Structure 1
Amino acid sequence: MGNRLSKIYTRTGDDGSTGLADGNRIAKNAQRVEAMGTADELNCHIGLLVEQLEGEEAIAEAMRRIQHHLFDLGGEFAIPGSQVIGEQHIHWLEETLDHFNADLPALKNFILPGGSMAAAQCHMARAVCRRAERVVVALSHEDSINPDARHYLNRLSDLLFVVARVLARRDGGDEVLWEQHRSGI
């Protein structure tokens, strides 16, 4: 590992800029910084989910692996032109998604976030993942990025949806189904 931070505050960001891993400084509100921050936020939500997964070792292990991927993804955004996330990550997500989806019944309704605390947290992570994907798409319109990063986030949001379904149904629980006419006054 490179240099360790011995002092947390540097005051270099007081002017509204931040340093990238390649040494360049950019505005803290730049799309690249937004991508890094949203990947970090998603990682935090998945960390909260993992802490609610007692007895769900397979899901917890998958989520921990994803946390490492997301940390790598943030690093990729911090070094313009780098590529850490690749097709093998996307393939692993697809295999993991297929595994967890195998025993779920076919969808016949839209699902509302909920069903259990863990399922609701997983839906929160899914929503943040979708935002991360939108941020990365916006970044790709102004700078060159690894397209696998966008593909990874797209598959990850699908996996989080499936895992939320699994968690809502565990221990005899139910998914919360959207009822078309229930939103009326």
Structure 2
Amino acid sequence: MVVLSKIYTRTGDKGDTALGNGDRVAKHSARVSAYGTSDELNCFVGVARLEAEEDMDAALSRIQNDLFDLGADLCSPDMDKDAGAEYPPLRMVQSQVDRLEAEIDAMNANLEPLRSFILPGGSRLAAHLHVCRTVARRAERLATELACDEAINPVAVTYLNRLSDWFFVAARIANENGTKDVLWVPGANR
């Protein structure tokens, strides 16, 4: 269990921070950018939850917990040392991706197929979920950039990819099962 009795430590005052394994890196490093963006996404999910009810709120709550798992995964380098570690780092697992896919399939079953791209918006909840979708895509881009230089858990990238799809479908659900989606009209304002 984590115990935080003192919030400021002064250890990062010169622009570096500690990773999950204790290594110190620049606060602007690719790894910190990746897990920092997953934390930012978690905050936007919290804002979306202010508009969500019942099943949607419960699903968003699960996602928030997963995003903390994701941050813990991304802040812990040394994938090759996981097996021998006294306290192996928390890693994203396939069942978390599978749950998202099952939820996407269940939500999508209630929707008419899209015949146009949709604009972010509609209901307040849908607008918040579209923000979550785009921040998830940014977190995914940062994670894939990190993976070019350092080993990361591939399931973390898969989770982010699927999560952005989840937010897209959930936004359609929030728009009265897609009936209130705002459709893109190409060239409408020429």
**Alignment TM class, shorter chain as reference:** over 0.9
**Which residue of 2 is the match for residue 60 of structure 1?**
57
**Structure-to-structure mapping, 1:5-84, within 5 angstroms:** 5-53=4-52, 56-80=53-77, 81=79, 82=89, 84=91
Structure 2 counterpart of 1:24, one-letter code:
D
Could you list the runs of 5+ residues in structure 2 that have no partner in the other structure? 80-88
- Residue among 117, 138, 162 paired with 1:131: 138
8 Å contact kept, 1:115–1:169? no
Q: Is the 8 A contact 1:89 1:152 kept in 2?
A: yes
2-side partners of 1:103 and 1:117: how far apart?
20
Question: Is the 2:104–2:166 Cα contact (8 Å) retained in structure 1?
Answer: yes
Correspondence for 1:102: 109
State the TM-score, normalized to the length of structure 2.
0.91
CA shift at 1:109, angstroms?
Answer: 0.4
Distance 2:158 2:179 in 1: 32
- C-alpha contact 1:112 1:176 (8 A) present in aligned 2: yes
Given residue 49 of structure 2, which amino acid in structure 1 is its aligned partner? V
Alignment partners' CA distance in 2, 1:153 and 1:94 = 12
Q: Normalising by structure 1, report the TM-score.
A: 0.93
Identify, as 1 or 2, the structure richer in helix: 1
The one of 171, 178, 185 equivalent to 2:184 is 178
1:52-105 deviation digits (Å, cap 9, x = unpaired): 11xx31111111001000001001111112452111111110000001111100
Q: Is the 8 A contact 1:129 1:153 kept in 2?
A: yes
d(CA) in 1 for partners of 2:4 and 2:98? Answer: 35
* Structure 1 stretches lacking a partner, 5+ long: none
Q: Distance in 1 between matches of 2:54 and 2:91?
A: 26
Give the match's secondary structure for 1:13.
coil
Judge conservation of contact 2:72–2:90 (CA < 8 Å) in 1. Answer: no
Counterpart residue type for residue 15 of structure 2 = G
Residues of 1 paired with 2:104 and 2:189: CA distance?
Answer: 31
Give me the CA root mean square deviation: 1.3
Q: Which residue identity is paired with 1:182?
A: A
4+ residue segments displaced more than 2 Å: none
